[in-house]
């Protein structure tokens, strides 16, 4: 197999492997690097083989980090792997090699299949086990006080045949207030007014500062529109063209970074004071503050700094612990650097004490109108308006790292207190994807578009109410009714006819609860863009899957750009009746005809819009859906 792989690998990969050996020459002595496995935004991963001390041979994944990663970030990633990893479906680390700024993390290799290739083949039972094993990994890391922040298919390796699962990629992890991962405590994350803004690419929407857009973009979309704030230095250089796309690329640290060019012309600010304090004091202070009705430590600092030029979200400052000698103190901040403030990498509010207090409203939600300076008061709050008063306020900064489509509502709304519940939300998106056979499910790349998509599924009223509990006022120009999760998933899977006409497009207004074919009308509404011939009327009497396929075929014929994801086999041709029936039988064999209500019940709890009441990973493992697995 090895020689086969070697024969297959491209010139490019050969060069990259050479490059890897050059960057970290020690690898030569230990590994035979066979192939490249993957490439993320901040790393490239290779397959290597090594001889072990006991004489055996083993395969490893070699993760070469981009050399612009801060050593404290890398160390935190490694420590998550070494302390929490190696069990409970969490990847462990074997070793780590470094030469100067080049770092390679060595992990046991786990063969896996990309979900996009197999999602349509999975049985319900496989989906149930998949989500169970993901929740197991989450429970485990959450016990260590690790917020992963980037839960998604690509970071949960799945070997379908061997039924193996492994959570990887702690590159964006943050610690909870009481995290056991020392390096997550120590590291603070630098966030800046601009970079931490809820959209992360607000700079592209500042009038006159629009980032280059794709020429075929008919859709104007502003994330922060006029009037522009009177902060000329904030609208410095036009962002590099990558900024418009970076929001779709995985971790936000990158997004923030690329979308907020450091200008060099920034007003010099005093060097950030390095906070040095003891861990226990921190923890105490954090838990105390989280119970008092004022913003939490760190975040207060963060958001009370007047708006100013920005750089990017990045690790910066430092604390030290009593358990370590002064030498252990890490100074990440260069004195004299122009920068904004600093926030703890630690997520402030400890999330789960007793259920009662969990349900209590977070401190931030208390109205504090009295604290607003009259000069800054306007009448736009909770209306469809904005004015130069509210728009000239400073931006709120909150952690945002992660992947579009998997971000929880509290992340999308720029809520500064975020906890392990954000990972649970992402697990819910994964389950939604698997139950509905849609990947990706949410595809908005702008935070507020993502939020709208969430509202379409979960309801706008529900979203508004939940957001209130974490201190956010959400206004949506249209009421979007909440969807019944089973109906939604079954329709999307093609197991149930979609409602006719306009109502086929959910989110248009009222939800159609009626099932079965309708007497008149076209099969399904064409998407608003592009001409598309209506489907033949008699398609009504066919199962919905057939309607889908017909439509898809028509798509191709009409030259409408086809979706980029893998298509059903055979799409583009006419479907034979027999083939149809076979497919349906297969579906039934895979258990999709008898999905228990508990599956949707769990989905509903994972996708709880309110992080305080959202089910925890530990609780989810005890859900009735998993009774036989306990």
Partner 1 sequence: KKRTKPESKPRPGFPKSQAQRINTPFIKVEDTSRHYRPIYAAMSKMPEINMAIAPPCTPFCGDKKDQHKNGHSEEWGHGRAKKNRAKKQVGFCECCMLQYDNLVKHVQSESHRAFSKGNEYSVLDRLVSTMHCDLALFKPKNKRPKCSVS
Q: Which stretch binds partner 1 (CB under 8 A): 215-223, 268-276, 279-287, 343-351?
A: 215-223
Q: Which stretch binds partner 1 (CB under 8 A): 148-156, 278-286, 596-604, 607-615?
A: 148-156
User: In whole angstroms, how close is the CB of 492 to Zn ion at the nearest point?
Assistant: 40
Q: Which does 91 bind (CB under 5 to 8 A by kind): Mg ion, partner 1, ligand ADP, none?
A: ligand ADP
**Residue whose CB is less far from Zn ion, 233 or 383:** 383
Of residues 396, 408, 403, the one with CA closest to residue 171: 403
**Contact call for residue 581 and partner 1 (CB under 8 A):** no
- Burial, 581: exposed, middle or buried (Cβ in 10 Å; 0-12, 13-18, 19+)? exposed
Per the CB < 8 A criterion, the answer to whether 104 and 97 are in contact is yes
Q: Is 183 helix (H, G, I), strand (E, B) or coil?
A: helix
- Burial, 312: exposed, middle or buried (Cβ in 10 Å; 0-12, 13-18, 19+)? buried
Per the CB < 8 A criterion, the answer to whether 595 and 430 are in contact is no
**Contact call for residue 155 and Mg ion (CB under 5 A):** yes
**Residue whose CB is less far from Mg ion, 137 or 492:** 137
Q: Which stretch binds Mg ion (CB under 5 A): 168-176, 311-319, 324-332, 398-406?
A: 168-176
Spatial separation of the C-alpha atoms in residues 284 and 335, rounded to whole Å: 28
**Contact call for residue 153 and ligand ADP (CB under 6 A):** no
**Contact call for residue 402 and Mg ion (CB under 5 A):** no
Spatial separation of the C-alpha atoms in residues 291 and 513, rounded to whole Å: 44
> Is residue 440 reached through a cis peptide bond, with omega within 30 degrees of 0 on the bond before it?
yes
Q: Which does 155 bind (CB under 5 to 8 A by kind): Mg ion, Zn ion, partner 1, none?
A: Mg ion
**Residue whose CB is less far from Zn ion, 163 or 385:** 385
- Scan residues 154-173 and list those touching partner 1 (CB under 8 A): 154
User: In whole angstroms, how close is the CB of 63 to ligand ADP at the nearest point?
Assistant: 5
What residues are annotated to the active site? 150
| Binding-residue pattern over the window 592 to 621 for partner 1, x denoting contact by CB under 8 A | ------------------------------
- As given in the structure block, the two tokens for residue 407 are 């971000």
Looking at 84, 91, 346, 435, which residue binds ligand ADP (CB under 6 A)?
91
**Contact call for residue 248 and ligand ADP (CB under 6 A):** no
Quote the DSSP letter at residue 33: E
* 534: Cα within 13 Å, side-chain hemisphere: 14
Q: Which does 248 bind (CB under 5 to 8 A by kind): Zn ion, partner 1, Mg ion, none?
A: partner 1
Spatial separation of the C-alpha atoms in residues 463 and 461, rounded to whole Å: 5
Q: Which does 37 bind (CB under 5 to 8 A by kind): partner 1, ligand ADP, Zn ion, none?
A: ligand ADP
Task: Name residues whose C-beta falls within 8 Å of residue 251's C-beta, 6 or more positions apart in sequence.
Answer: 41, 42, 149, 150, 171, 172, 401, 402, 403
Buried b (16+ CB within 10 A) or exposed e, 519-541: eebbbbbbeeeeebeebeeebbe
Looking at 131, 168, 254, 342, which residue binds ligand ADP (CB under 6 A)?
168
**Contact call for residue 332 and ligand ADP (CB under 6 A):** no
- As given in the structure block, the two tokens for residue 64 are 């070469």
**Contact call for residue 40 and Mg ion (CB under 5 A):** yes
Nearest residue by C-beta to ligand ADP? 40
Residues, the chain, total? 630
Looking at 113, 123, 154, 266, which residue binds ligand ADP (CB under 6 A)?
154
Count of residues that interact with ligand ADP, criterion CB under 6 A = 21
Per the CB < 8 A criterion, the answer to whether 164 and 87 are in contact is no
Where on the chain is the footprint of ligand ADP (CB under 6 A)? 37-38, 40-43, 45, 61, 63, 91, 107-110, 154-155, 157, 168-169, 171, 250
């Amino acid at each position: 197999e090895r020689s086969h792989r070697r024969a297959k690998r491209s010139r490019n990969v050969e060069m990259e492997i050479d490059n890897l050996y050059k960057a970290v020459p020690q690898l030569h002595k230990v590994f035979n690097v066979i192939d490249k496995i993957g490439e993320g935004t901040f790393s490239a991963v290779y397959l290597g083989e090594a001889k072990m001390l006991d004489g055996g041979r083993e395969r490893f994944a070699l993760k070469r980090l981009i050399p612009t990663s801060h050593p404290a970030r890398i160390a935190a990633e490694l420590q998550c792997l070494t302390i929490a990893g190696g069990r409970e479906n969490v990847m462990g680390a074997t070793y780590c090699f470094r030469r100067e700024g080049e770092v390679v993390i060595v992990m046991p290799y786990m063969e896996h299949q990309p979900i996009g290739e197999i999602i349509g083949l999975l049985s319900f039972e496989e989906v149930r086990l998949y989500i169970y094993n993901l929740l197991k990994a989450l429970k485990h890391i959450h016990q260590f006080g690790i917020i992963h922040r980037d839960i998604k298919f690509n970071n949960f390796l799945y070997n379908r045949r061997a039924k193996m699962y492994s959570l990887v990629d702690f590159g964006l992890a943050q610690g909870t207030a009481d995290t056991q991962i020392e390096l997550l405590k120590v590291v603070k994350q630098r966030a800046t007014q601009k970079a931490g803004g809820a959209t992360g690419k607000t700079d592209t929407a500042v009038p006159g500062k629009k980032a280059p857009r794709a020429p075929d973009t008919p859709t104007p979309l502003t994330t922060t529109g006029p009037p522009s704030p009177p902060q000329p230095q904030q609208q410095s250089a036009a962002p590099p063209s990558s900024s418009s796309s970076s929001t779709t690329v995985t971790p936000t640290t990158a997004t923030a970074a690329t979308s907020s060019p450091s200008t060099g012309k920034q007003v010099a600010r005093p060097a950030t004071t390095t906070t040095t304090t003891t861990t226990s004091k921190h923890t105490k202070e954090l838990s105390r503050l989280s119970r008092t009705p004022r913003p939490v430590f760190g975040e207060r600092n963060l958001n009370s700094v007047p708006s100013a030029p920005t750089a990017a979200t990045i690790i910066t400052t430092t604390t030290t612990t009593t358990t370590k000698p002064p030498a252990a103190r890490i100074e990440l901040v260069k004195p004299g650097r122009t920068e904004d403030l600093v926030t703890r990498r630690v997520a402030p509010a400890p999330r789960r004490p007793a259920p009662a207090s969990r349900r209590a409203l977070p401190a931030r939600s208390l109205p504090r109108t009295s604290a607003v300076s009259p000069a800054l008061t306007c009448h736009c709050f909770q209306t469809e308006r904005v004015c130069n008063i509210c728009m000239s306020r400073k931006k709120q900064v909150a952690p945002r790292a992660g992947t579009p489509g998997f971000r929880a509502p509290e992340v999308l709304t720029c809520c500064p207190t975020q906890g392990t519940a954000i990972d649970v939300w992402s697990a819910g998106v994964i389950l939604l994807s698997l139950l509905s056979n849609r990947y990706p499910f949410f595809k908005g790349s702008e935070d507020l578009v993502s939020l709208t998509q969430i509202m379409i599924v979960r309801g706008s009223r529900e979203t508004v109410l939940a957001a209130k509990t974490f201190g956010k006022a959400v206004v949506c120009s249209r009421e979007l009714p909440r969807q019944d999760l089973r109906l939604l998933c079954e329709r999307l899977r093609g197991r149930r006819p979609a409602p006719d006409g306009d109502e086929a497009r959910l989110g248009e207004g009222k939800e159609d609860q009626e099932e079965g074919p309708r007497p008149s009308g076209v099969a399904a509404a064409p998407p608003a863009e592009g001409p598309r011939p209506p489907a033949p009327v008699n398609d009504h009497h066919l199962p919905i899957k057939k309607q889908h396929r017909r439509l898809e075929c028509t798509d191709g014929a009409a030259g409408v750009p086809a979706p980029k994801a893998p298509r059903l086999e055979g799409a583009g041709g006419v479907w034979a009746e027999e083939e149809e029936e076979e497919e349906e039988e297969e579906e039934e064999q895979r258990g999709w005809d008898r999905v228990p209500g508990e599956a949707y019940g769990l989905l509903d709890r994972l996708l709880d819009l309110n992080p305080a009441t959202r089910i925890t990973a530990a609780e989810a493992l005890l859900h009735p859906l998993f009774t036989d697995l306990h």
